[in-house]
């Protein structure tokens, strides 16, 4: 594994919930990243945001890592969950909340 893959791997496995996004949770730099942040904040889950705009290597690396072409990307307990559309659909259907529950990730009551 290259250095960037190892870094991504350690972030994915070292955090219960991590989102690779454009910008930061406090200052998302694309609408899709912003939507995912809003959903996670609404659900009330603790998560780490990793800004892919800090390096082209990271930006490309996360796409290779997940084999998924777009950003943001959400990982829960080391598993790739999806991008913005999937997260939004899961949230609307209640599946996202159930996933956190199943994985033992604490959420604050909305």
Residue 1 has pLDDT above 90, yes or no: no
What is the model's pLDDT at position 2? 78
Residue 16 CB-density burial (10 A; 0-12 exposed, 13-18 middle, 19+ buried): middle
Name the helix (H) or strand (E) containing 36.
helix 31-43
Q: Which long-range contacts (CB under 8 A, 24 or more apart) does 34-37 make?
A: 35/84, 35/87, 35/88, 36/72, 36/74, 36/84, 36/87
Q: What is the Cα–Cα distance from 34 to 102, expressed in whole angstroms?
A: 25
Residue 109 has pLDDT above 80, yes or no: no
Picking from 97, 95, 83, 89, the residue whose alpha carbon sits closest to that of residue 43 is: 97
Q: What is the Cα–Cα distance from 31 to 36, expressed in whole angstroms?
A: 9
Residue 110 has pLDDT above 80, yes or no: no
Reported as a single tens digit per residue, the pLDDT across 21-64 is: 999 999 999 999 999 999 999 999 999 999 999 999 999 999 99
Structure tokens at 45: 């889950």
Q: What is the Cα–Cα distance from 33 to 27, expressed in whole angstroms?
A: 10
Reported as a single tens digit per residue, the pLDDT across 80-99 is: 999 999 999 999 999 999 99
What is the model's pLDDT at position 108? 87
């Amino acid at each position: 594994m290259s250095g960037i893959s190892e870094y991504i791997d350690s972030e994915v496995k070292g955090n219960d919930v991590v989102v690779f996004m454009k910008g930061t949770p406090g200052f998302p730099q694309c609408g899709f990243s912003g939507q995912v942040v809003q959903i996670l904040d609404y659900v009330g889950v603790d998560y780490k945001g990793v800004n892919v705009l800090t390096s082209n290597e990271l930006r490309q690396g996360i796409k290779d890592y997940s084999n998924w072409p777009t950003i943001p990307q959400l990982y829960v307990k080391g598993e790739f969950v999806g991008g913005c559309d999937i997260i939004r659909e899961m949230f609307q259907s209640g599946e996202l909340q159930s996933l956190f529950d199943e994985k033992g990730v604490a959420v604050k009551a909305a």
